[in-house]
Structure 1
Amino acid sequence: MIDHTLLKPETTRADIEALITEALDLGTYSVCVSPSMLPIPVPDNADLKVAAVCGFPSGKHDSTVKAVEAAQAIRDGADEIDMVIDIGAAKEGRYDYVQSDIAAVRAAAPSPAVLKVIIESAALNDDEIVACCIAAVDAGADFVKTSTGFHPAGGATVEAVRLMKETVGDRAEVKASGGVRTFEQAEAMIAAGATRLGVSGSRALLEGTTPSGSY
């Protein structure tokens, strides 16, 4: 259920190679990386998906730019795209734009690519969360995702995950990301409805120790 994640700006190729080695050792579902790090050297026989972020972390990219970025990531070997919405548009109530922004990326990265939509839930109120989730599923998203892990408002909360799952129902899944640092937190997110977790300190979480430097 874990997307083993490394999105720090200072990430090097050696860091990505170490990420893949650790992901394979831990048996995580995927690795999640910045698009500039693609393609990455996943062994051909490995059961490991590759996710890349899009419009990250601000979401303040033109929809055309996001679409190009997503399409290039798929060409470079990504199986999944984690895109960031324009949070300001959501705060303004421009949900038609939020939906069209997502739809542009969906068109550029069609199924079987998996599209996860980051709504930055900590920066939104409940009504905004619901509206963004509806926009995401109406645009064809496979997942709604809580957070980038980089926003000062914070990351995932159990309450947000529960609301998001109640909103999307069976139409999409929920990914909890940002501040999921302990096994207990992970269990709580799953109980609230998350089926995927974005974690940078995956080994520490699974081993019950305190991660350092994770988002």
Structure 2
Amino acid sequence: MTVHLASMIDHTVLKSSTTVEQIHRLCAEAEEFGFASVCVNPCYVPLAADLLKDSKVKVCTVIGFPLGANTTATKIFEAKDAIQLGADELDYVVNISDVLNNRFDRIKKEMEEFVQVRSTASKPVMIKIILETCYLTDEQIKRLCELAKESGLDFVKTSTGFGTGGATAAHVQLMRETVGPNVGVKASGGIRNYQDAMTMVEAGANRIGASSGIAIVTQKASGENKGY
């Protein structure tokens, strides 16, 4: 199986203790290794956008993170603000309570509002919805993926990395089977090495969110985890 793994990685740092120095290092590493994006908290979007302004690396940020419990109006404000500050990709968290309360009409409306934000942006913007699959049944995951596809979102994503569990190959496979080939699937949470990443790719992921991007790609280069 031949994949360009580095170009599928969102090089991520989302801890509350993140420093300016770490953002500088994150962006330099993303350029050096050819990662798809850096994923940072909204307060660091302007810095990342400035550091990467002459680079092919995109700036990704998180919205309604990590709980998804903000109102839709708050999330949409965050989204518009992040785009104005320089974000190219937005990973927003679904309201998990709405899922558990079977309020899929609210979820669909929120998806459509994010699609509207994308359509009115002055530049291309990618929207990913974070499902936090560790809290959901397979049927709930499937329903969310169906709604995301119907609404026109760009990606469905497994996890924030702050829940009780991260990405699993079974969930990634279910998500891919549900959305088909034209919607992206991002695996995130607990992916720490090349074998983890390739397991997700083989299950159907075409983007990997990880804070261990360098370990993932350098293991490949050194010939570790042979057979992938």
TM-score strictly above 0.5: yes
TM-score normalised per structure 2: 0.88
Is the 2:52–2:58 contact (alpha carbons within 8 Å) kept by the matching residues of 1? no
- Aligned mates of 1:33, 1:198 — CA distance in 2: 11
Is the 1:42–1:48 contact (alpha carbons within 8 Å) kept by the matching residues of 2? no
Please, which runs of 5 or more residues in structure 2 have no aligned partner? Answer: 1-7, 221-228
**Deviations along 1:115-170, whole A, 9 cap, x unmatched?**
00000111101000001111212222100000000002x00000000000000003
Query: 2:151 — aligned with what?
Result: 139
Query: 1:71 — aligned with what?
Result: 80
Matches within 5 A, 1:175-186: 175-186=186-197
Query: 1:187 — aligned with what?
Result: 198
Q: CA deviation at 1:109?
A: 3.0
Question: RMSD between aligned alpha carbons?
Answer: 1.4
Q: Secondary structure at the match of 1:4?
A: strand
User: 2:197 corresponds to which letter in structure 1?
Assistant: A
Q: CA deviation at 1:54?
A: 0.3
Q: CA deviation at 1:105?
A: 2.2
Question: 2:49 matched to 1:37?
Answer: no
TM-score normalised per structure 1: 0.93
Runs of 4+ residues deviating >4 angstroms: none
Which of 75, 80, 94 matches 1:85?
A: 94
User: 1:191 corresponds to which letter in structure 2?
Assistant: E
Q: CA deviation at 1:23?
A: 0.9
Query: 1:196 — aligned with what?
Result: 207
Which of 188, 196, 218 matches 1:207?
A: 218
Q: Secondary structure at the match of 1:109?
A: helix
Is the 1:7–1:34 contact (alpha carbons within 8 Å) kept by the matching residues of 2? yes
Is the 1:64–1:104 contact (alpha carbons within 8 Å) kept by the matching residues of 2? no
Give the 3 Å change call, closer, same or farther, for CA 4–90 of structure 1 in structure 2. Answer: same
- Aligned mates of 1:44, 1:173 — CA distance in 2: 25
How many residues in Structure 1 have an aligned counterpart in Structure 2? 208
Which of 52, 61, 64 matches 2:70?
A: 61
